[in-house]
Structure 1
Amino acid sequence: MATDYDEARPDVAESRNATLQALRSANAPDARSVVSALDEADTTDGVELPGADLSDEVLAIEVIPQKDDEFTCYSCFLVRHRSQIAAGRDGHASCLECEG
């Protein structure tokens, strides 16, 4: 009698079927209910659309002045600590990352 070595062993096939049946019987939501729940939660409240009139909006941003131990990188324009300053060119300071 010839043996088919590519065929799944009986104990593996049974456990695979049992796992599949457990997944089907679980109370997991199907794909359609998940998509509809996401669509319901995806409202436009608080979201401004392109071209919307923002003339009555007030922006509140606190501006913190540059400290004595900080500098503005001439290349990336980020405010960095003085410990990150690299050799500057033409009198302009650059950070270590931009010089790197």
Structure 2
Amino acid sequence: MATDYDAPRKSDEEMSEDSIEELKNRRNDKNSGKVDEDEVEAAESFELPGADLSHEELTVRVLPRQSDEFTCASCFLVRHRSQLAEEKNGMAYCVDCAG
């Protein structure tokens, strides 16, 4: 809701009177809580620019394991050797998972 900082300021008493009147009006308005539009239908009707990626092709090049890397046995992330916290039973664990 926008605030008009140039408008005359109301006292706390005037503000409470206004808000009570607003609440009374809203209670009398039975349609104020209803939403006419289905959000799912509205979202399906929107067409975002560049959203159709059917003509695009994804190319991924997988690199072999480097000598200074390891894969954490807990989180399965490839980490640098400086992140190695411990090795148990031949399994390497990073500092995030070991701590």
- State TM-score, norm by structure 1: 0.45
Larger Rg: 1
